[in-house]
Every structure is written in C-alpha cells, then in structure tokens.
Amino acid sequence: MSTTFSTAQHQAYVLHKRAYSETSLIVELFIRDVGKKTLIAKGARRKKSQFSGILEPFNQLRVNWSGRSSLATLTLAERCQEPVQLVSKRLFCGLYLNELIMNLLTHDDPHQHLFDHYQHCIHALQSSLDLELLLRQFELTLLEQIGYGLQLEHEGQNGEPVVAEKRYRYLSDQGLVTVERTDLTTITGSTLIALLRGEALTDQQKREAKLLLRGIIDNCLEGKPLRSRDLFRTIQTS
C-alpha cells in the first residue's frame, strides 16, 4: 500500500462524519485541489481533542493529512471563517448537496470548479430567496463535472434550438426530443431557457425543472437512496 503525505494546507469542507472506535472519527471531506477524500481523525471524539467542534458539516477548513492512501490520517483541521449556520429547510438543502457529492464523486478526483460552486451555494443558502433555483444550478454543474453534462439548448437529434412554446422530454440516449403530450415527464422550452440563464422560475417551472433533474440524478445514483430527501419529506408532513 502506498504512503502519501500532504505537506501543504488544503481548502476543504466537511461533508459527513461517523464514529470510528471509541475515540476517533471517519470524516468525508470535499477538498478543493484533491476532491472527495476519506480520512480518519484520531482521538476526535475526546473532549480535549484538537478537532473538537471543528469537524462539522459546512465548516470551511484548512487541512492536511499523512499516511496510507486508502485511509490517511487527518493531522490538521483549522476553521478558515465563521461556520455557516443553516436551519430548517436550508439545512436539508445543504445536506442534500453533501449527499450528492458523496455519492456521485469518486475519491481523489479534483473538481475545483465544483468546489467553488459548492462554496457559493453553501453561503447563499443562508439568505437566498430562491432555494429551488440554487439547487437546480448546483445539480447542473455537478452533472457537467462528472461527465453527464446536459445539452438543454438544442434538440438531440436534429440540433434545432429549444423553443419556449414547445414541450420536450429528455432521453438519456438522445437528449431533448419534442413531444405533443403533456405529462409529468415533459418540460417546456421556456423552463429550459430560464434554467440555463439562471432566471427566476415560476412555480410550474420549478416543478418541471426539479422532476427533470431528479430523474437524471436518480439514474446516476443507480438506486442509492438520499437520506436528506426523506428527512425533508418528514418535516413537510409533520
């Protein structure tokens, strides 16, 4: 097994953590110039640990590590700024972004542009008045970064530009195709245009965009459930 050492400090966000033995934690990090990485934080569960209160989701950190590449040891974690405070719906939106990264990115595969977009979204979640658009923009960026970028400006077979008044269905092997029927699997050209431009969406457009991207992301997840979705449904029905 190869041994790797990090001598520089790296920008990172905590995605998830879980207990490891009686005193340590396994931490999933999203590191700007490295990508997703799993590290062990030894002794992090002790009250006097150097990591106490640091390894929390949405904390922006400076980190480094050493040890075996399969499960290296976190040696430094320092906050870069005050923690992002997310509550209620905004919290579950943040957890959703974290789950997408954990499930769709491979380890040690750098995605600097996605990291910067994630950083923007996490801060914007604190005050944004349009959470739906924020999530859809992140989903589009994520899909592009992992090789599933969507061509939403033109029809897949003939290359005709999307027309606001038409309805479309997105097929994984063809892209956008024009349809006559209106159902839950179709989306209007006006929604596609607004989504690509980052414009405010109507309630109907939000539903269409959400269903479109959920279907594509679920296909990428290959059946893996997202706990953040279940938690969000729970608070909506409680």
Read off the pLDDT band of 1 (50, 70, 90): very low
Average pLDDT value over all residues in the chain: 89
Does position 142 have pLDDT exceeding 90, yes or no?
Answer: yes
pLDDT for residue 237: 56
Whole-number pLDDT of residue 44: 93
C-alpha span between 50 and 42 (Å, rounded)? 10
What is the Cβ-side half-sphere exposure of residue 154, based on CA atoms within 13 angstroms?
A: 5
Q: CA–CA distance from 111 to each of 2, 23, 33 (Å)?
A: 23, 32, 7
Cα distance between residue 21 and residue 38, in whole Å:
16
Can you give the pLDDT at residue 70?
Answer: 73
Q: How many CB atoms are closer than 10 A to CB 157?
A: 12
Calculate mean pLDDT across residues 186-197.
Answer: 94
The rounded percent of the chain whose pLDDT value lies above 70 is 94
Going by their DSSP bridges, the two strands 35-41 and 24-31 should be labelled as: antiparallel
Which residue matches tokens 């539903």?
Answer: 207
For residue 94, with 0-12 CB atoms within 10 Å meaning exposed, 13-18 middle and 19 or more buried, which class applies? buried
pTM surpassing 0.85? yes
In degrees to the nearest 10, what's the CA dihedral of 127, 133, 135, 140?
-140
β-pairing, 187-188 vs 167-171, is antiparallel
Question: Of all residues in the chain, what percent carry a pLDDT higher than 90?
Answer: 69
DSSP designation for 161: B
Domains of the chain: 3-79 (2.40.50.140), 88-237 (1.20.1440.120)
Between CA 77 and CA 75 the distance in angstroms is 7
pLDDT in tens, 32-64: 999 999 999 999 999 889 998 899 999 899 999
What does the pLDDT read at residue 157?
A: 85
Parallel/antiparallel/unpaired status of strands 175-179 and 60-68: unpaired
> CA-to-CA distance for 32 and 141, rounded, in angstroms?
15
Contact 174, 183 (CB under 8 A): no
